Amino acid sequence: MPARVLAEAETRRLDPRVIGTRLVTLSALRNQIGLLVSLLALLGLRGGVRVVGLVGVLVAIGAVSAGRAAVEWLTSSYAIDQDRLVVRRGALRRSLTVVPLDRIRGVDVHATALQRLLGIAVVRVDAAATGGNRDEAVLDAVSRQEAQRLRRVLLREVAAGPVPVPTPTAAVAGQPAQGAVLARLRPGWLVYAPLVGSYLLAPVAAFLAAQQLVDELHIPLPAGVTRLLDGRLDGVQPDPLLVAAAVAAVTAVCVLGAVATAAVANWGFTLTRRGPALVSERGLLSRRQVSLERARIRGYALVEPLPLRAVGAARLLALVTGLGGENSRRAQLLPLGPAGVAREVAAVAVLPFTTPLRRHPTAARQRRLARAVLPWLLLAVPLALLHLWPAVAAAGTLAVLGVPLGLDRYRGLGHALDPAAVSVRSGSLRRRQVVLERRGVVGWRIRQSLFQRRAGLATLTVATGAGAGGYDIVDLAAPAAVALIAEVTPQHVPAQHVPAQTSPGDGDQAAIG
Amino acid sequence: MGTDVPLRVPRHCVDPHAVWLWVGEGALSTALLAAVVAAARLLTPADAPGWLRTLLDLAPWLAIPLGVVLVAVEPLWRYRVHRWEVTQDAVYTLEGWLVRTWHIVPIARIQTVDTTRGPVQQLLGLATVTVRTASHAGSTDVQHLDAAIADTVAHDLALRANAVRDEVT
């Protein structure tokens, strides 16, 4: 491609095929909800033949939507002009969006099933101004080829800007070349989906939605099914075989539903390095392509919820500045997969971290146990006073289960340092190991409660502008907390202070004057 | 055998008038607590279960010491604990009474510096300086400084943060 690609300032139109997506789709119906409701009400009043009327309504909606889409298409345009992207939209309410090219942090390309059929895609440009997840400019929609061209042009200009900060030390032997695939989701890994809460909830939600739809449309169901759904089982003897079959059926539906949800969301997931960005692509019906600028990635989080950990699987997310929390699907580097593969991908895509994690003092174990067991015991007391024996039994069981939980939580605690990064791990039900580049640390917080003071522990929070904003190193020895701060940011430990030398096992402490 | 966090305590105390502010907050909490207990005692019907009546009888005996602690003990304890300091590199704060929290905020990472004065603070001539970074956990505030000192500190921090700002957030 010629170097001065940006010399062109020609204004381009969106792709006319976008009108096809506005004809009769769910979103078109949603947009014309007023028209829809009034037309349907009119039909109801007239009491005319249902089907013909419904078709008429759909045609009317389609015509109105097409008209509006055509007007929008005529009045929308975009141009890349010197160092900015300019997007114009609207006829009655004109809007002009200007995005400086060096503020662009990422370009996402998304195509729903219908858009894929038509050969178009939606381009979303994420710029630094707003922060969070809000897009700065949206081009809905351009042709597939144009979307890729835009992505390359907009991101390459970012790379040509300020000299990128070199990744500190830890030279990875054999960095994969540009365009190399760093990770690929094998279809077999989708079996892990039922172990992940969010995928499991989808079939449940779908079932509830279907039930509500059936109710509202008054679709007649066989009497037995209605009785079952309403929970009215009086007068019907529950046949144990039937109950077992029903439970098995429900479980099978949930499992298959979870796998299907995960498949639709993550089918064909690939992670590629392209220029200064990591580009991930996924989706079965809708195809979503997300680019994450490498300069914004400060580390990664390896998440192992208990069900996944039991089978040796994990999820991998990047810690990206301005992208917030771990619920952002955009930051996924590997949605589901064996833990070993996840670690390899993390090492290649972000940075390798092989230092073994240091365990926390045994006093931390007592604290984890106490916190897992005591609340239930304390709850059981008033429940016993109220003679609510089933609740007492439940609280007692949870208290007993708290013992292995507390022990596992203690085993999950750990932290480590290497020349380039800090790593923090915690949790049992939701274990998460975070590896954060040292340059990503923007501050520290130490919390010490009365109990922690007596036990000689403290909780150190590593503050960072990426991901969740702060990661807690829970219950480490108080002197070790200060030593860690001194090791990572020695200039920020107040002068005239020497952290007490703890056990020689705390190897890499810098000497502090 | 307890171990304190072996960080040198920051140099400056907060303004002594902060004690009155904390006393006021403690008094307000106690008043609210007393009102809740009194209302519960008045509104409970005579045929309430025995344990509830015992609880309500005990409540004042629990509330009074709690109130004393909130009004007399906590403010003085906090005054002894709360500290702040601004050095060449960072802003250090220490706050809390039962749970103590240290904050270390490097000046190079500061994004915004705010000074706020609530109504009670204005009466007492106090102000709070809030220092924000890219991380919520890494942001801190220095509460209840003398207003003039707060202005100077905020101004100074803003200037220095601008001058020293890293490229990398």
Does the beta-carbon distance from A442 to B1 stay under 8 Å? Answer: no
How confident is the model over B32-83, as pLDDT tens digits?
A: 999 998 888 888 887 777 777 888 888 888 888 999 999 999 999 999 999 9
pLDDT of residue A329: 78
How confident is the model over A256-289, as pLDDT tens digits?
A: 999 999 999 999 999 999 878 899 999 999 899 9
Q: How far is CA A332 from the centre of its chain?
A: 6
Predicted confidence band of residue A171 (pLDDT cuts 50, 70, 90)? very low
pLDDT of residue A222: 66
Q: What share of chain A in percent tops pLDDT 70?
A: 79
Does the beta-carbon distance from A446 to B102 stay under 8 Å? Answer: yes
Q: Which is more confidently placed, A200 or B86?
A: B86
How confident is the model over A99-137, as pLDDT tens digits?
A: 888 777 778 899 988 889 889 999 988 876 544 545 578
For the residues A294-318, what does the mean pLDDT come to?
Answer: 92
The CA distance from B23 to the nearest CA of chain A, in Å, is: 22
- Judged by a CB distance cut-off of 8 A, whether residue A501 touches chain B is no
Residues A451, A458: contact at Cβ < 8 Å? Answer: no
Per-residue pLDDT for A416 more than 90?
yes
For the residues B89-96, what does the mean pLDDT come to?
Answer: 92
Instruction: Kindly identify which residue of chain A lies nearest to residue B167, measuring between CA atoms.
Output: A165
Give dist(CA A279, CA A108) in Å, integer. Answer: 9
- Strands (DSSP E) contained in A263-398 are 270-274, 277-282, 287-293, 297-305, 313-320, 332-338
Smallest CA-to-CA distance from B129 within B91, B88, B81, B96 is with B91
For the residues B94-106, what does the mean pLDDT come to?
Answer: 93
- Judged by a CB distance cut-off of 8 A, whether residue B167 touches chain A is yes
- Judged by a CB distance cut-off of 8 A, whether residue B105 touches chain A is yes
Kindly report the average pLDDT of chain A as a whole number.
81
Kindly report the average pLDDT of chain B as a whole number.
88
The CA distance from A451 to the nearest CA of chain B, in Å, is: 9
pLDDT of residue A161: 35
Residues A487, A510: contact at Cβ < 8 Å? Answer: yes
Rounded to whole angstroms, what are the CA distances from A329 to A256, A318, A323, A334?
22, 10, 10, 10
Q: What is the pTM of this model?
A: 0.80
The CA distance from A385 to the nearest CA of chain B, in Å, is: 8
For the residues A452-463, what does the mean pLDDT come to?
Answer: 94
pLDDT of residue A237: 63
Q: How far is CA A16 from the centre of its chain?
A: 33
Residues of B in contact with A487 (CB under 8 A): none
- Judged by a CB distance cut-off of 8 A, whether residue B46 touches chain A is no
Q: DSSP code of B70?
A: I
Per-residue pLDDT for A3 more than 50?
no
Least confident of A3-12, A291-300, A324-333, A422-431: A3-12
How confident is the model over B121-144, as pLDDT tens digits?
A: 999 999 999 999 988 888 999 999
Predicted confidence band of residue A163 (pLDDT cuts 50, 70, 90)? very low
Instruction: Kindly identify which residue of chain A lies nearest to residue B5, measuring between CA atoms.
Output: A478
pLDDT of residue A9: 61
| Ramachandran quadrant class, A496 (left: phi over 0; alpha: psi -120 to 50; beta: rest) | left
Residues of B in contact with A454 (CB under 8 A): 2
Predicted confidence band of residue A358 (pLDDT cuts 50, 70, 90)? very high
Predicted confidence band of residue A459 (pLDDT cuts 50, 70, 90)? very high
| Dihedral sign computed on CA atoms, order A284, A288, A293, A296 | negative
Predicted confidence band of residue A5 (pLDDT cuts 50, 70, 90)? very low
In our burial notation (b when 16+ CB lie closer than 10 A, e otherwise), range A426-444 reads bbbeebbbbbbbbbbbbbb
Give dist(CA B21, CA B29) in Å, integer. Answer: 12
Per-residue pLDDT for B112 more than 80?
yes
Give dist(CA B55, CA A386) in Å, integer. Answer: 13
For the residues A197-205, what does the mean pLDDT come to?
Answer: 83
Whether the bond into A141 is cis, omega within 30 of 0: yes
Give dist(CA A296, CA A302) in Å, integer. Answer: 18
The CA distance from A110 to the nearest CA of chain B, in Å, is: 29
